[in-house]
Amino acid sequence: METEIPKLHMFFFPFMAKGHIIPIVDIAKLFVARGVKITAITTQADAPFFSKANQRINNSATQIDIKIIKFPSKEVGLPEGCENVDAITNSARFNFDLVIKFFQAAALLQEPLEDLLEKYKPDCLVADMFFPWATDAAAKFGIPRLVFHGTGFFSLCTMSSMRLYEPHKKVSSDSEEFVVPNLPDEIKLSRKQIPESMRDGESFVGKLFKAMGASELKSYGVVVNSFYELEPAYAEHFRKVLGRRAWHIGPVSLCNRSLEDLSSRGKQASLDEQECLKWLNSKEPNSVVYVCFGSVANFSSAQLMEIALGLEASGQSFIWVVRKDKNDEEEEEDWLPVGFEKKMEGRGLIIRGWAPQLLILDHEAVGGFVTHCGWNSTLEGVSAGVPMVAWPVSADQFYNEKLITQVLKIGVSVGIQQSTMLFGDYIKKEAVEKAVRALFTSDEAKEMRSRAKALGEMAKKAVEEGGSSYSDLSALVEGLMSLRHH
């Protein structure tokens, strides 16, 4: 009698931030669908992301196993219960020291991770880029480690070129542009637009990114939430010129098909999805602009006021997601013009808190997306086939802006020049109005929309059986299986 071959067993270890956990949950679901046994390593605060996914997986035999490790907040001087990036960025008085403490706490997770690796001996560890020590931790037990960056090939190639050639050190001022060397396209940036980790290699964050680069080179490879047809020159460049082993398996958000999956992804939405759909159903196709800056960007009241005035002046219907809570129904909010919501009734919908983004973007009424260019949002906009207004704030977002506006030509820039961790450059209402109008009424609008729609179709084909991402995922599973046999 033949003995049954045990399932491939993979550990998933995401960084404690929504932008990292949400795609990791989707990736875990993709592997589960291929018959892989998945164990998620997470903290108490973030475990619900995985348990919610389990509620959608009907077969109890294929559910994601969840192992909870204690996040050492107190040990590094963080407030009790501060277990994810939300807890830092949501505070009214953001303090960069808290970010450093958070990363120091994350580094203390090496020992509990190693205990779990030793006990369960998985066949592979998929660990977030912010855990550079995970490659060595896995190697102790002969386990291959895959890196999850949470960004695409264009951004990965740009970051590598920046690290290798340091072109930002060869210009005389912060606003002078330089060409990023050795890329398939001519990409220009200024020092103002690159992340702090790149500007100051000796800072805490700079050293962390150096460690991440070194760790990636020693890892088994990189799993990328992208698809080949979106950025073929950069997928080739990353693999052939930079010599990295990588698998594109995205857009991973497309594994969410049902209304429940679309509306419940991430956190509980602040607005009932039926109410949201009813509002969208009352609008003409391609008439609504969706405005959302992700889960980290935190704008001042003055900037929000300019956005409100710009949206009003654009004449476009809009859904605007704002990270502000309304304390009292009667209270006037200092970030909105007096009587704004009443005036915009029927034309504008403000969602305070978390929005069902996939549900909104996929609706035929939505014809444009004002985005902070975080990779998840960028790829979700691409998958929905909508043109974008690029409003980057920090990290890899200025790179993604170049991809959207210059390489793919499916969007326009709002004109941000300065990368800041949380509080972006100040943009006036006129620039907001101009950028929104450009998506709907400019001479280029039709061509941008047509290109965006074509990419949306390619994204859907990529994840279907026989598609580029479906095939790469198959190749990765087969490669890990054969590695186990050896």
pLDDT above 90: residue 323: no
Tell me how far apart the alpha carbons of residues 133 and 300 are, in angstroms, rounded to a whole number. Answer: 36
Nearest of 57, 221, 235, 254 to residue 146 by alpha carbon: 221
Where residue 292 falls (left for φ over 0; alpha for ψ -120 to 50; beta otherwise) is: beta
Selected catalytic residue, list 26, 46, 128, 362: 128
Identify the pLDDT of residue 266.
Answer: 58
Amino acid at the residue 53: A
In angstroms, the Cα distances linking 150 to 227, 285, 386 are 13, 31, 21
Q: Does the active-site annotation cover 20? A: yes
**CB-based contact 33:145 (threshold 8 Å):** no
At residue 319, does pLDDT exceed 90?
yes
CB 272 within 8 A of CB 278: no
**Which residues sit opposite 11 in a β-bridge?**
39, 125
Domain boundaries of the chain, sorted by first residue: 9-254+463-485, 267-460
pLDDT > 50? residue 483: yes
DSSP 180: P
Task: Specify the pairing of strand 366-371 against strand 288-292.
Answer: parallel
> What stretches of 400-465 adopt beta strand conformation (E)?
411-413
Give the model's pLDDT for residue 408.
Answer: 97
pLDDT in tens, 400-413: 999 999 999 999 99
109-152 pLDDT per residue, tens: 999 999 999 999 999 999 999 999 999 999 999 999 999 999 99
- Mean pLDDT value across residues 44-54: 88
Q: For residue 457, what pLDDT is reported?
A: 97
Residue 216's Cβ-side half-sphere holds a number of Cα atoms within 13 Å equal to 24
- d(CA 71, CA 356) in angstroms, rounded, equals 28
The C-alpha atoms of residue 244 and residue 157 are separated, in whole angstroms, by 10
- The pLDDT score that the predictor gives to residue 327 is 47
Is residue 229 over pLDDT 70?
yes
| Residues 153/248, Cβ–Cβ less than 8 Å | yes
pLDDT at 43: 92
Helix (H, G, I), strand (E, B) or coil at 91: coil
User: Does the pTM of the predicted model rise above 0.85?
Assistant: yes
424 pLDDT exceeds 60? no
Average pLDDT over residues 336-343: 89
3-state secondary structure (DSSP) of residue 376: helix
- With CA atoms as reference, report the closest residue to 444 among 477, 411, 422, 416: 411
Quick one: pLDDT at residue 93? 47
Q: Do the strands 37-42 and 9-13 form a parallel or antiparallel pair, or are they unpaired? A: parallel
Helix/strand/coil for 99: helix
pLDDT reported for residue 176: 92
Tell me the percentage of the chain whose pLDDT exceeds 70: 90
Residues 417, 418, 423: CA angle, nearest 5 degrees: 130
Options 3.40.50.300, 3.40.50.2000, 3.30.360.10, 3.40.50.150; CATH for 9-254+463-485 is 3.40.50.2000
Residues 146-155 pLDDT 10s? 999 999 999 9
> ∠ at Cα 402 (396, 404), nearest 5°?
100
In this predicted structure, what is the pLDDT of residue 270?
Answer: 62
Question: What's the rounded mean pLDDT across residues 295-315?
Answer: 88
> Across residues 96-108, what is the average pLDDT?
88
What is the three-class DSSP state of 474? helix
Q: What is the mean pLDDT of residues 272-299?
A: 88
User: Is the pLDDT at 272 greater than 80, yes or no?
Assistant: no
Please give the average per-residue pLDDT across 31-36, as a whole number.
Answer: 93
Of 126-135, 336-345, 352-361, highest mean pLDDT: 126-135
pLDDT over 50 (residue 329): no
What pLDDT, on a 0 to 100 scale, did the predictor assign at position 262? 64
Task: List, in order, residues 6 or more apart from 40 with CB less than 8 Å away.
Answer: 11, 12, 13, 14, 24, 25, 28, 50, 64, 65, 66, 67
The interaxial angle of helices 429-440 and 445-462, nearest 10 deg, is 70
Collapsed DSSP state (helix, strand, coil) of residue 184: coil
Q: Mean per-residue pLDDT for 234-242?
A: 96
Considering all CA atoms of the chain, what is the largest pairwise distance in Å, rounded to the nearest integer?
77
pLDDT for residue 284 is more than 90: yes
In the numeric block, which tokens belong to residue 226? Answer: 């992208």
Active site residue 372: no
Mean model confidence pLDDT for the chain = 88
pLDDT at 269: 63
Lowest mean pLDDT among 256-270, 357-371, 386-400, 417-431: 256-270
Q: Do the beta carbons of residue 440 and residue 264 sit within 8 Å? A: no
Model confidence over 168-211: pLDDT tens digits?
A: 999 999 889 999 999 999 999 998 888 877 777 677 878 888 88
List of residues 6+ apart from 307 with CB closer than 8 A: 291, 299, 320, 427, 429, 432
pLDDT at 56 over 60: yes
**Within a 13 Å sphere around the CA of 52, how many CA atoms are in the beta-carbon half?**
19
- Predicted local distance difference test score (pLDDT) of residue 328: 41
Q: Which fold has domain 267-460?
A: Rossmann fold (3.40.50)
Cβ atoms of residues 298 and 94 within 8 Å? yes
In 3-state terms, what secondary structure has residue 410? coil
Q: Select, from the ranges 58-67, 196-205, 207-216, the one with the highest average predicted confidence (pLDDT).
A: 207-216
| pLDDT at residue number 419 | 63
Residue 268 pLDDT > 80 = no
Query: What's the one-letter identity of residue 155?
Result: S
- Reported confidence tier of residue 261, pLDDT bands at 50, 70, 90: low
Mean pLDDT of 425-440: 90
Catalytic site residue from 20, 248, 363, 372: 20
How many residues in the chain?
A: 486
- Strand bridging mode 188-190 / 177-179: antiparallel
Q: CB-based contacts of 58: which residues, under 8 Å, 6+ apart?
A: none
